[in-house]
Structure 1
């Protein structure tokens, strides 16, 4: 349970536990409030904002992600260390507040207190990053910092003048290329607001609407749950940009239903993993990368999401076709239409959930700023929640959405700060320039060698890292190499980004596939192989970015249309080859012909396009005639295929897993019929209404909304008097006061709401 759920449950708890959960709720609320305020009224001093953003995120991580598990013998000692880390965050915050006016001269005069604070701050960031996303990025940061101090002990392209400890700390701690660089600035200004929008939309029922709509549109078709997984992940990906979040949100419905229809368990998990991974390449958020990319490249945000549109569409269309071929191959039946919601009535009844997405598109096209768009979508979603009659938004759910936003963003903020440490170490010794020059020399004019080398580097460096962290890493290492070779800026950035996030579905570190495997009850590595096969376009599309950037809208409309169509046909051809089925089963020779035809279409030359079209047409015609001639009997897939089907690659993966021991466990706790019933019925809305009635009487509900209005009054008072610009420290105190008042008021109202007790007539 979150701290908000614990506080508002009205269960008895110790005073120490109540204080802890209250502090977490206040800290999370303060974190969201400062970002919501700057979106509406403007930002205070940017250095103070970035410092508050990072330090509050670190504090949230230390409070919500303890050093040791509760069942660990040394758990209490771990919590003492967590408390000390929290105190260090407070101390760093005080330091930044005191140094606002003299911050610029720290590059000239670096005092002992600056040394101590910078070292502590860096240590806090690395530890928070380790807790939030693992140790990969932490190790990279430590190695690069050690290299920056000792670069004169290396040879070849890694030899250089070392940075002194002072210079290294100043670059990381003070410079724009360090901790408070692009990543943290973008997180503070844009990303938190968009994540708040996504969480709030889900809280008022938007996430469930998208899932139900996907099943209504595609559930009754061949391979329905798998296609619904693709569509729902695409819809949710437009607002969340989180691959694992998509798996957890939609996978609980889609994976069990795919298994019921006869899909292999590993294939069902792979479908959801690959579809959810597409959320990170889907506009408008792209896992926060769209904002960072726009800032680094010096182009508009609209330019970035426009360039990302066609590749994302091709990715999902290829997945859609692959799933359809798999369903054809094994004769998988669709879900019964009578057990699914109807799309028309749902759109008429709940189509208002599409309004925020329409607002985003219209506002961006009209040229409004990203911050304004974020605030407008949050306001639109809030109004929808207030006006919605089935499960109206109440202050308790609003408070829960605020905490969920802070929790889901804090780890990402710590990662962005850690990426700043890495970038600061790189720029302190000019490593990116040296590596770019040497890689270009090694390629010796062979662009394809350089492209392949950069792709492998991106996949390896992206293992176990979040989308924003891997993109920043590659922007400082791989992108300069490609640009030295003459590749366009847009193509280089998108190439690195696509290959970087491919590690999410590429074994051995396929985090998204590993998240789907327990839901499917499958083996993680086998699930990862299926996810990689389904997401093969994630590995093929980046090559087009380099050799035919028209797919990124860098070219004439004729070139854009040509490359889009030929790429789609090529990807469909590759999908058929990997599936082993087109209109009929494909043997080795037929697969080879299909692969050659697809490859010819993939090469951006008129002659190869024509040859590829002819080859694919003849190949498809032969497969169609083969199916008509043989009238092949379709053999339904059996559950035993989980362990021994799917070709030599899957058999090899299964053998490896058998040697290592069974890694995937557990079945979903809900059976398929219950899931279908949840899709059709409004049971969830009824549960929300019942929970609201349990928390609030009519009077206490008015009191809680009154507290919300008074909190907004504090915002208006501060904004109308420009306190954030005139006195940033006072503004920070006002935001903290608003958070304390908001949390305490709602907690008090819920915990002490009037309870009406019926009195027997005989006693009246």
Structure 2
């Protein structure tokens, strides 16, 4: 079925699609000269081997070779990225792709040399530049390095990050000018100071973002590349189609689930669109989706792959460093929003199928039955994983010294068994979605052919979640298993199939797959490597200039101090930046500038916003930029596959992604949605998490139904409004409760000690603090949260960190105790100005009815909508 009267774009060939992915992810240059081609692939291969070498946790080589520290590994990482950026990415669209021009050789040598200089002379830099005494030669090399990095960024990522980085450099250098608002003016850094801070020091280009890319991100990208090269990508897509393809609108549902699974192995939304979309989009069009709708479903599901734990792309590892929490905590907070977002997208697709009365491919099956089977499978997998945890715990108690070898032997035995099972079935082939007759596989035919691909993912989750190892070590172990699998799976299958004569040939094929996977992983890292390095320019500028501290005031002025308006401004800012920046760079820029602003402005309104919620807010809007026109690269890639109009595809995909836009606002106002404050180590915490998950899922499904204008039947405007109201109530019932019963009772400042004494241990008092701002001199206000701890009033006062100076009814504050949380929160107040810093108000929590009481009227309203729509319902809802 084709679109009637819709403008049709050109449908690209497979070669053109692969070129599209290469030009954005791995470099489009393919030199005709064999030595040059071998040099590029050789550099990529050596980069992957270097990253595996520095990642392995057992330093057995320490007595033979020096162990590199982060100030040495980061420059080497960037050296590879810059060299490959100039060799693999043409300067312009019309630049030659079959050869490397002399200018590019020169730029690669200069840029790579400037980065390598930081490695080779790291000890000398520590004694000179990093001690504040850079030499003239060092400054020249640093300036050349920055220019080369910005050009490499332009080639690999487009002009946006180069422009943003250049503007931040100009701002840091000039400090003042007619384009710089007075609020963020400063004296300007000297040229030497600027280059020292940005290139020669360890806090600029070679700071935390590049460190995360070096230590964590490369291994995860390599892990995904090896999984894909082994055949896991095709396996996941086939499995999704086997389970969902038979449903009404099944290809679209399979596209959503397949993209969620391939999101584990692809950090690129564009590669995800092209990889899964070449098969799913034609099939979606066959059952009745328009070209734009088919492309939009693929875009919405592929982009969401970046928020799906346990692998969430580079931004998740940056959160670990920026916020100072473990990776397991990031996964915990991201889990519910990601899962309910995907469930809602499956439901949106189902509603589209109902609205258009789409047929199923083959014999139709029950959507409700599929959901039931999914939950049964999820429960069985959860029970098996729990049993494994207890089993390993018992083994550690019985034979602690033998646990490691026994587990490795068991893993090897399971792997060999699963490969033997897979060998009994033919290898999965790529299907032709344009074939006249489509025969969908069954789950029974598919699932056993690739169960061994799940083992590295289980190992990754095990070390992350159970052993609580670092992301780098966990990824190393999972990647090591993947290296073993990719070499051995082909010869093992040949052996089990009785094809002993092919063992040498299959070993050679496995080795080629390994080399190809290592090369592809490194080439996929070029953009991320230069992006994290260039984004370090912004991070250093934020720390060296007033922009980081004063931007809160600027945003507050623009938003009038209204938190919801400020959040909208931050979201729009992320979208605009993200139109040209990759997700990782966008997250670094906006979180550096805005995350603390969200927290501080929330505190001024009495709303305590967890820092992780602010970072996730920025992250969610950053990924939306891949969808949003006019740039939306994933939408253009999907349109290239579908032959639809890219702008229309982008707007439709944005409409399908409204749930992803709404979620960040919801968990800012109700952090329980990201399991903030929920202890999963207790039964009560697990039950609370399950309740939150079920409630949020229902709310998100109702939100999807409201935005799609279809529930049990086509919705009228008042019915859609009612569904939105019910969804809002289920998501944030505390908003209604705050209107009925205030959360806090106001207490005069002079009664602080009495309030502390009367509070129960574990309670939280909120103090509104007013006083002169250290940076602007104007009056500032914030909310300080005091956790009541200690048995006596003296202990509680000491734990608070406050130094009180009571004067009648006024309670002035002296500078808080150094090193306390209070001192950190009040760091921007000037305690030595003429105007005192004082407590304006004390808010003590009141006992209130549960917020869940508002679920009752919400359920009644939902029942009313169901009754109205049942009268018009003409087909089953599921």
TM-score normalised over the length of structure 2? 0.67
Of 474-483 and 333-342, deviating more is 333-342
Q: Is 1:112 the equivalent of 2:133?
A: no
- Structure 1 residues 626 and 432, CA, compared in 2 at 3 Å: closer, same or farther? same
Shift of 1:426: 2.6
- The farther-off stretch of 236-245 and 487-496 is 236-245
2:489 to 371, 376, 387: 387
What is the CA distance between 1:346 and its match in structure 2? 2.2
Give the direction of change, closer, same or farther, for the CA distance of 1:347–1:457 in structure 2 (3 Å limit).
same
Corresponding residue of 1:59: 83
**Aligned counterparts of 2:75 and 2:663: Cα–Cα separation in 1:** 38
Q: Secondary structure at the match of 1:263?
A: coil
Computing the radius of gyration over CA atoms, which structure comes out larger, 1 or 2? 2
Residues 596 and 611 in structure 2, CA contact (< 8 A), matched pair in contact too: no
Identify the residue that residue 857 of structure 2 maps to in structure 1.
611
Once the two structures are TM-superposed, the CA of residue 481 in structure 1 deviates from its matched residue by: 0.6
SS at match of 1:286: coil
Q: Would you tell me which structure has more strand in proportion to its own residues?
A: 2
Cα deviation, 1:304-343, whole Å, max 9, x if unaligned, reads 1121111100110110100001001111111125811221
8 Å Cα contact 2:71-2:119 kept in structure 1: no
- Separation of aligned partners in 1, 2:872 and 2:246: 28
Check if 1:540 corresponds to 2:655: no
2:723 aligns to what?
A: 594
SS in 2 for 1:152: coil
Deviation at 1:476, TM superposition (A): 0.9
- Contact kept? 1:186, 1:291, Cα under 8 Å: yes
- 2:108 alignment counterpart: 86
Match of 2:446 in 1: 346
> Is 1:521 the equivalent of 2:544?
no
Q: Does 1:376 align with 2:477?
A: yes
Q: Which runs of 5+ in 2 are unaligned?
A: 1-14, 20-29, 60-66, 364-437, 495-505, 604-608, 679-684, 735-850
Deviates more, 1:228-237 or 1:446-455: 446-455
2: CA distance between counterparts of 1:328 and 1:75? 47
Task: Indicate the residue corresponding to 1:356 in structure 2.
Answer: 456
Deviation of residue 90 (structure 1)?
4.2
Normalized against structure 1, the TM-score is what?
Answer: 0.77
Distance in 1 (CA, whole Å) between partners of 2:176 and 2:446 is 66
Alpha-carbon deviation of 1:97?
4.0
Alpha-carbon distance, 1:354 to partner: 1.1
Structure 2 residue 686 is the aligned partner of structure 1 residue 570: no
Contact 1:216 1:340 (8 Å CA) reproduced: yes
> Residue 39 of structure 2 is aligned with which of 12, 17, 23?
23
1:217 aligns with 2:243: yes
> How far 1:16 sits from its partner (Å)?
8.2
Match of 1:303 in 2: 329
Report the equivalent of 1:693. Answer: none
**Distance change in 2, residues 1:132/1:451 (3 Å):** same
| Cα distance between partner residues in 2 of 1:76 and 1:192 | 28
The count of aligned residue pairs is 619
Deviations 1:91-142 (A, max 9, x none): 3255224412112221322112112111111111111111111111111111
Aligned-residue offset at 1:610: 3.4
Mapped contact 1:548–1:563 kept (Cα < 8 A): no
Given the alignment of the two structures, is residue 276 of structure 1 paired with residue 302 of structure 2, yes or no?
yes
- Cα deviation code 1:508-563 (max 9, x no counterpart): 22221111111011011111111111111110110122111111111343654454
2:764 corresponding residue in structure 1 = none
Q: Distance in 2 between matches of 1:451 and 1:28?
A: 41
What residue number does 1:710 align with? none
Cα 1:164–1:616 shift into 2, 3 Å:
farther
CA apart distance, 1:456: 2.0
Distance, in Å, in 1 between the alignment partners of 2:133 and 2:213 is: 29
Give the CA deviation at 1:384.
2.4
- Alignment check: 8 A CA contact 1:547 1:604 kept: no
Label 1:407 to 1:15 Cα distance change in 2 as closer, same or farther (>3 A).
closer
**Contact 1:455 / 1:499 at 8 angstroms: preserved in 2?**
yes
From 120, 128, 144, the counterpart of 2:152: 128
Aligned to 1:717: none
Do residues 423 (structure 1) and 539 (structure 2) align?
yes
Q: Is the 8 A contact 1:217 1:343 kept in 2?
A: yes
Distance 2:113 2:451 in 1: 49
CA distance in 2, matches of 1:217, 1:146: 55
Q: Structure 1 residues 430-439 or 202-211, which shifts more?
A: 430-439
In structure 2, what is the Cα distance between the partners aligned to 1:587 and 1:410?
50
Task: Write the mapping of 1:48-197 to structure 2, written as runs, cut at 5 A.
Answer: 48-69=72-93, 79-104=101-126, 105-107=128-130, 108-153=132-177, 154-197=180-223
Residue of structure 2 in register with 1:326 after alignment: 352
> Does the 8 A contact of 1:214 with 1:232 survive in 2?
yes
- Superposition deviation, residue 285 in structure 1: 2.4
Given candidates 575, 588, 591, the residue that maps to 1:459 is 575
Structure 1, unpaired ranges of 5+: 4-13, 634-764
Higher helix share: 1
Match of 1:253 among 269, 272, 279: 279
Q: 1:368 to 1:407 in 2, by over 3 A?
A: same
- My pick for the range that moved more, 166-175 or 557-566, is 557-566
Instruction: Give matches, 1:196-215, under 5 Å.
Output: 196-215=222-241
Q: Residue by residue, what CA displacement relative to the aligned partner does 1:730-755 show, whole Å, maximum 9, x if unpaired?
A: xxxxxxxxxxxxxxxxxxxxxxxxxx
Between 326-335 and 368-377, report the one with greater CA deviation. Answer: 368-377
Write the distance in 1 (CA, Å) between the matches of 2:704 and 2:596: 33
Question: 1:621: Cα distance to partner?
Answer: 2.9
Q: CA deviation at 1:577?
A: 2.3
- Mean Cα displacement is larger for which, 356-365 or 336-345? 336-345
